[in-house]
Structure 1
Amino acid sequence: MLLDPTYTVLGPDPTNRKCRINCYAFQQDAIVSFQGWQYAAFYSPLHEEAPEPLYVHVARRQLGLKAPQRDWEVLLLMDYPQTVDDGHNTVQLGISPGDGTIHLSYDHHCDVLRYRYSCRNLALKPTKFSWTSSNFTTTHDYLPNLPASHKPFHYVTYPRFCAADSDLLFTLRDGKAGLGNDHLYLYSSASGHYSYMGQHLTGIQSNPYIHGLSYRSGRLHLTWVYRGFVHYDGWDAPADTKHKQQAGPNGAENNHDMCYSYSDDLGKTWKNGRGKVIASGDLETATIDNNSDGIVAFRITKGSGLTNQESQVVDLEGGVHVLNRSSLSVGPAADTVEAVHWKHYYKAPGDNGDWIERRLRPVYGAARGRLAIAKTGDIFIILPDAEKGHMYIEKATISSGFAAHEVVWFGEGLWGEPLVDLARLENDNILSLMVLADTKPPTQQSGSRNVVVLDFEL
């Protein structure tokens, strides 16, 4: 069993909105450590008496071998007020290892790109810089070296960052739910510029929802599900906004199939799980789409409870792990429908590695879980109970081939979708979770919660 964690508060979570805007599974690196410092990004109001608008807050703290050496420093980016009550419009954070720039992208649901980045060396030499907003650019509608007229920048949802060697990858979806594509960009720490790698994922009357980008030992791994598009009245009207609802006309009931591909050249060439090239060169014309050979790891039908963007990690040996859920049973009775359960999908390393599926606990509520790799190679699976505000941490041991699962911690009063500092867990053997927690002690404001970080020493 894990010992109870230390608990630190980043700031208050907004209380006056219908939609949560912090702690969503598709925030790939909202909390991340780099060279002995930890960084986190979230939305919060200016103060309790002024709940609107919200602003991007970015926090940092110096880490020690076990406990943090400093308290959180939090800077406020006051030049951009966030006003739209939509859970899609989260903030994303990325760090370029080569030049120490910190990158942020925020407030999107089929909107123009919103992006900013820091001065060079801010994360490489943190003690040389005061933690102030003056170290960041203003909000841009373009990426450095790419113009605002670049078409995918006009209709952005779900941006993500992923460090790759000394550089930084950036992805985004353009188009609406059920009818969109994913685009890939590479930031060069040497030049400070982005290059467009292409439309690496194309949806045919659908859109791909990626679980994440994972880069390890020169290989970029990508898993996703498709969401089929259902036509509705006015879907093609220029003024259509139905798709921008929190749960629009094309919902998760139309998700299907678990897919996988990888690249050994940062997205120039993509292969299926058996090593066959399925897209290369000009990704505008040679892109991965629904019909690409060998991409489907599990054929999962619509209406099975399959969600989008849950979680993906790659273990120390190169094995691929995905967390998702479905109502389809495992094994001989594969056509039998059951209650929706979380599923741990695992592909053994290499082109000859097979996929297997293991059923976990039942799902209560819509909140998504998280996977993380320990320094030992074991897998931690963090599963929320969205109906009761409970959170479970399960451990799957590498020695059992990840087949042996056990609950190692249980917590109450915790909400949202847990986010994990993967780098700190793998490097320092400390599990840092960013979650929403009921205030302690409770405030006068009913339902008040904080954005917090829980640190477990393993």
Structure 2
Amino acid sequence: MLSDPTYTVLGSDPTNRKCRINCYAFQQDAIVSFQDWQYAAFYSPLSPEALEPLYVHLARRRLGSKAPPDDGDWQVLVFTDYPQTIDDGHNTVQLGISPGDGTIHLSYDHHCDVLRYRYSCRNLGLKPAEFSWTSSNFTATLDYLPGLPASHQPFHYVTYPRFCAAGPDLLFTLRDGKAGLGNDHLYLYSSASGHFSYVGQHLTGIRSNPYIHGLSYRSGRLHVTWVYRGFVHYDGWDDLADTKHRQQAGPNGAENNHDLCYAYSDDLGKTWKNGQDKVISSEGFGPNTIDNDSEGIVAFHIPKGSGLTNQESQVVDLEGGVHILNRSSLPVGSDEGTVDTVRWKHYYKAPGDGPWIERALRPVYGSARGRLAVANTGDILIILPDAEKGHMHINRATKGSGFAACEAVWSGKGLWGEPLVDQARLESDNILSLMVLADAQEASTPQLGSKNVLVLDFEL
């Protein structure tokens, strides 16, 4: 069992909106460590008493034995030049750090919108103690990536941006198009030049759109897993003024998700291979893209209406094994069959050309998505929320058992949202930093607003 964590409050979570805007599974690195400092990005009002608008907050703290007394407290800066006003859970904030030049990158407030992006001066992450923690170290909000023009077509219709550190550089992805009818685009930030280049439309949806669980880069290899959402035509779908697709659950909802897919690249997205190490491409959409018909990409055939969700979680373990967290109502080992309770599933592919393995976990209560993380022992931590009761559960699947042995190691109450993990700190320090939402009424949590954005630190 894990010992109870320490709790620190980042800020108050908005309570007046219909849609949650913090702690979503598709915030790949909303909390991340770099050079003995930890960073976290979230939305909050200027004070707990304020309701609107919200602003992007970026927090940092020094970690470990290098932190003198009181220097391990969070320092929080607020970007007051950009008020966030749209009540939409898609419009989260994303955080990335380029290891080569220490620039810190943010992208925020998108659901089929023009790109919104800003980045810091060089060395802010490499030499943090030499910089005051102020917004003046960052650009204003930009509608382009440095090195590319604002006229670049995918920048006009952005949803789900993500960052992923890759060696000294930084990858960035986004979806253009609407739910069920979009494509994913990949960009590479060079720490040497300070500019982005366009890698290409790496995932193409044919009468559908891919929803990625994430990008994972380890030992020179880039991994991506995803589900497809088939498109359902509706009146006005081709009207440029149409807004039905912006609904949290609209005419093209999660019931149309299907199939669990996988591909990898050893050259940062220029060439893609399937799980059988065969090069795949789609000449109709460009030499470096994957579409629905690309050979060997489907790891599990899962039909529509089976409870499969989008953008839950993936992680690549220390040996290069690929792990996916998702859910379905299918019995284990069956592509079709009797409808069962919707359960979380742990899907695992060992390094090399081994087969995929599927294991059922606990039943799903509510729509909140869970999280996978890999400890520096090689064990996999599986963090699962109970969205109906406000509980959070942590399970451990052990490396020594081939991840077949899975035991519950912690449960907490009064915790909400979709848990986010600092994977870098977990690997380097064996400390699990978990970013969640919490009720202030819960006795074990500090108080600020009636609901707060918290970081829970577990010493493993």
Is contact 2:282-2:294 (8 Å) kept?
no
- TM-score (normalizing by structure 1): 0.97
Report the CA distance between 1:440 and its aligned residue: 4.7
Change (3 A) 1:204 1:141: same
For 2:330 and 2:66, locate their aligned partners in 1 and report how far apart those are by CA, in whole Å.
42
For 1:145, which of 144, 147, 165 is the aligned residue? 147
Mean Cα displacement is larger for which, 331-340 or 260-269? 331-340
Change (3 A) 1:414 1:66: farther
Report the CA distance between 1:246 and its aligned residue: 1.4
Change (3 A) 1:11 1:176: same
Is contact 2:392-2:412 (8 Å) kept?
yes
SS of residue in 1 equivalent to 2:340: strand
| Residue 448 of structure 1: aligned partner | 450
Report the CA distance between 1:218 and its aligned residue: 0.2
Mean Cα displacement is larger for which, 237-246 or 404-413? 237-246
SS of residue in 2 equivalent to 1:328: coil
Is contact 1:380-1:395 (8 Å) kept?
yes
How many residues are treated as equivalent by the alignment? 456
SS of residue in 1 equivalent to 2:341: strand
| Residue 344 of structure 2: aligned partner | 342
Is contact 1:162-1:170 (8 Å) kept?
yes
Report the CA distance between 1:448 and its aligned residue: 2.0
Amino acid at match of 2:247: Q
Report the CA distance between 1:369 and its aligned residue: 0.1
| Residue 82 of structure 2: aligned partner | 80
Unaligned runs of 5+ in 2: none
Report the CA distance between 1:287 and its aligned residue: 1.6
For 2:268, which of 260, 266, 269 is the aligned residue? 266
Give CA deviations for 1:426-453 in whole Å, capped at 9, x if unaligned: 110000000001115789x999210000
1:291-440 pair list within 5 angstroms = 291-331=293-333, 335-350=337-352, 352-440=353-441
Amino acid at match of 2:30: A
1:129-144 pair list within 5 angstroms = 129-144=131-146
Amino acid at match of 2:331: S
Is contact 1:113-1:155 (8 Å) kept?
yes
1:220-231 pair list within 5 angstroms = 220-231=222-233
For 1:249, which of 244, 248, 251 is the aligned residue? 251
For 2:342 and 2:449, locate their aligned partners in 1 and report how far apart those are by CA, in whole Å.
28
Amino acid at match of 2:301: R
For 1:160 and 1:119, locate their aligned partners in 2 and report how far apart those are by CA, in whole Å.
20
SS of residue in 2 equivalent to 1:32: strand
Is contact 1:198-1:282 (8 Å) kept?
no
Is contact 2:31-2:41 (8 Å) kept?
yes
For 1:281 and 1:36, locate their aligned partners in 2 and report how far apart those are by CA, in whole Å.
45
1:69-148 pair list within 5 angstroms = 69-148=71-150
Is contact 1:268-1:280 (8 Å) kept?
no
Is contact 1:22-1:416 (8 Å) kept?
yes
Amino acid at match of 1:394: N
For 2:335 and 2:317, locate their aligned partners in 1 and report how far apart those are by CA, in whole Å.
30
Give CA deviations for 1:253-301 in whole Å, capped at 9, x if unaligned: 0000000000000000000001111128997355200000000000000
Kindly indicate whether residue 158 of structure 2 is the aligned counterpart of residue 162 of structure 1: no
Change (3 A) 1:99 1:358: same
| Residue 174 of structure 2: aligned partner | 172
Identity %: 82
SS of residue in 1 equivalent to 2:52: strand
Amino acid at match of 1:384: P
SS of residue in 1 equivalent to 2:428: helix
Mean Cα displacement is larger for which, 242-251 or 58-67? 58-67
Is contact 1:306-1:326 (8 Å) kept?
yes
Amino acid at match of 1:37: W
Is contact 2:329-2:340 (8 Å) kept?
yes
Unaligned runs of 5+ in 1: none
Amino acid at match of 2:140: T
Amino acid at match of 1:18: K
Is contact 1:167-1:188 (8 Å) kept?
yes
Is contact 2:187-2:198 (8 Å) kept?
yes
Give CA deviations for 1:344-368 in whole Å, capped at 9, x if unaligned: 0000101x22100000000000000
Is contact 1:15-1:447 (8 Å) kept?
no
Q: CA RMSD in A?
A: 1.9
Report the CA distance between 1:48 and its aligned residue: 2.7
| Residue 36 of structure 1: aligned partner | 36
Give CA deviations for 1:5-58 in whole Å, capped at 9, x if unaligned: 000000000011000000000000000000100000000001133210000000
Is contact 2:225-2:260 (8 Å) kept?
yes
Is contact 2:367-2:387 (8 Å) kept?
yes
